A = this chain, B = another copy of it.
Amino acid sequence: MSIKKLLIAIFSLVFAVKSYSQEGYDLWLQYTKIEDTQLQDRYTNKIRGINILGESPTLEVSKNELKSAWKSFFGKELALKTSGNNLLVLATKEKLPKELQQKLEQDFDRINSEGFFIKNVTLEGDEVTLISGKTDVGVLYGSFRLLKEIQLHHDISNLAISDSPKIEKRVLNHWDNLDRTVERGYAGFSIWDWHLLPDLIKPEYIDYARANASIGINGTVLTNVNANSLVLTTQYIKKVKALAEVFRPYGIQVYLTARFSAPLESGDLQTADPLDEDVREWWKNKADEIYAEIPDFGGFLVKANSEGQPGPNNYDRSHVDGANMLAKAVAPHGGIVMWRAFVYSEDDPDDRAKQAYSEFVPFDGKFDDNVLVQVKNGPIDFQPREPFHPLFGAMPNTPLMMEFQITQEYLGFSSHLVFLPKLFEETLDTDTYTKGKNSTVAKVVDGTLSNKKLTGMAGVANIGNERNWTGHPFGQANWYGFGRLAWDPNLNSEKIAEDWLKMTFTNNGNFVDPVKKMMLESRETVVKYMTPLGLHHIMATGHHYGPGPWVDNLSRPDWNPVYYHKADSVGVGFDRTTSGSNALAQYANPISEKYNSPETTPEKFLLWFHHLPWDYKMKNGKNLWFNMATTFQEGVEEVEGMVKTWKQMEPYVDAERFEKVSMLLQIQLKEAKWWRDSCLAYFQQFSNMELPDAVPEPNHNLEYYKLLKFPFAPGIKPSWN
């Protein structure tokens, strides 16, 4: 083909993209037209109108969502009717006739305050589909559930659905700065347009709330944990209030990050000592001021004495002193404090993986009732794979909030397709053994293990002002999946993938089955091409874009990849057994014992816990070097497989999303090879062994990879470079 013809072909294609534009803005709320007329009839005969008992902003948005979805599904109006058979009725318990309330007593007993049920009932002589709950927001969740049933083309003639969230605080953490940069954000910039708030309410804010409510997310921390105290000024509280008012009908509370030194930075005080009366009064007044504007304000998220952030330790006070001071300020208003346990001292020479546990376990039971200690899923920092954080199960008298990272800081940014619910599920399903067998992380988080009332799960958002919210079309699945798991941490990631695919793309099994498989495998794939066999934190400096196992010159030892892999001519890996840092001691038995020997350690965690010789013989009879090299290679090959799978999906996907995913998979493939080639070139210096036959020689020498520079990689402030 001549260049000219090639260009023509490209532009035909590219233009087609425009013509059938589907940018993905509508997320999993596509409400795709039901083309099957039989199915259409079944739905529209079953529901011929809608009747809403009572009125409130939340019922109003429920009604509007249903009406607008109806138009989209069926091309017709969902009429408002006050009586007749085959209506959809929305009503909280108290709006139902007393008799019906009694009849439904069991249904109401089964759900909690945010729960709902959907079932056929007789209301004033009419046969109707009832969505009910104890609160308006329960009804809203039920409405979204009904819409999901239709999106999935399920039969709705005899619905008997009852559902309640298993976790109380289901919260997105936006690491969004007031200048609209987003720390570790790879989907453009912050959707919060602070400058034009409170006066300009963008439609995006409403659609953000709709999306979150549809999966049960009920809180959002608007600002970065590396906090700016300016957001606590009167000027910004007005802006926050405007967002809170948009979100309120959707059952979403706003939270802010509280910079611990705010009393100082405001110019009001000379100290931020949490035991100082003036400081305590300052925070009390600040909380009062916020709640006067935002009566349902959620509370504060705090990163204190971590990575340079100020905190109680600056005044020789403890995390308990700091957290409880803030907790007392918000308690009268029903607010909470989410206090992060992500701490590791620059002075403490001990294994970084151990420090949060060492510091926080002694505080168990000392936090106020409205404090949640927020713990990352693993003891280091959102790696492609980590063992669960040893704090889970180790603080039975403290409510622990799970912190997952939805944004892919260490997992290829927004250009790698990685289905994270698989990662989340792995952590949640892991048995901590802290109260004997079946003491899973999920049970710690949902409070059932130690009978905790206050429970929570946080996800660091991957949302930005990209036209499709998340950059990668499949990044939406991670937002979606986080919400689903926050609602029910025992949910199966396969089910999540399937629901998401059907709601976002199509119900066609020719598409759903292979793509679901690809999604479910994608997390293991990224582990293979980035950090196989328990390797971790070998990303490049600062931006964490791409490999940097060679980095050894950063100011803090525990920021250097070489700290984590400890490769030398003898071997590789971090000895966290009794012969090493003994981080294993922080885990309950049988984990601590079993993992103390490499032979009984799952190979996926081998180098996390052990420093092993390059010729260490693994279960497949091959040595460590061979396995490391072939695992990197497998990762690359699996991405090649993803490219192939996706290529076959063209008939089922709109051109715009098809093209975008195709291009992104090519980036992922290129970068998977970069990881493989550079890491193997680096580690081969130490192993001093040949590459296995199946593994190609790196394209470049090690020096080439070391010299690559990406000063404007996204997710960090330029000034940090």
Contact = CB atoms under 8 A, between A and B. Distances in A.
A11 B61 contact: yes
A68 B19 contact: yes
A100 interface: no
A200 B660 contact: yes
A121 interface: no
Contact of A57 (B4, B663, B719): B4
Given A7-B249, A14-B206, A64-B15, A415 B196 contact: yes
Interface stretch (A269-277, A355-363, A625-633, A664-672): A664-672
Contacts of A61: 11, 15
A713 B180 contact: no
Given A56-B4, A56-B8, A664-B200, A18 B714 contact: no
A18 B663 contact: no
Contact of A200 (B65, B196, B667, B712): B667
A19 to B, nearest CB: 5
Contact of A188 (B179, B465, B666): B465
A385 B414 CA distance: 44
A250 to B, nearest CB: 10
B196 A667 contact: yes
B199 A670 contact: yes
A179 B664 contact: no
B179 A712 contact: yes
Contacts of A713: 195
A178 B207 CA distance: 30
A349 interface: no
Contacts of A206: 14-15, 17-18
A670 B196 CA distance: 12
A60 B178 contact: no
Nearest to A246: B14
Interface string A524-558: 00000000000000000000000000000000000
Interface class of chain A by DSSP: helix
A365 B15 CA distance: 46
B7 A712 contact: no
Contacts of A181: 718
A195 B12 CA distance: 26
Query: Which interface class (under 10, 10 to 19, 20 to 34, 35 or more) fits A?
Result: 35 or more
A230 interface: yes
Contacts of A12: 60, 64
A110 interface: no
A196 B196 CA distance: 29
A194 B712 contact: yes
A494 interface: no
A181 B719 CA distance: 12
B663 A199 contact: yes
A102 to B, nearest CB: 28
Contacts of A71: 19
Contacts of A710: 195
A717 interface: yes
A192 to B, nearest CB: 11
Interface in A615-662: 656, 660
Interface in A459-502: 465-467
A60 B13 CA distance: 11
Nearest to A191: B188
Interface in A188-212: 188-189, 194-196, 199-204, 206-207, 210
Interface of A: 4-5, 7-8, 10-12, 14-15, 17-19, 21, 23, 55-57, 60-61, 64-65, 68, 71, 177-181, 188-189, 194-196, 199-204, 206-207, 210, 230, 245-246, 249, 413, 415, 465-467, 656, 660, 663-664, 666-667, 670, 710-714, 717-719
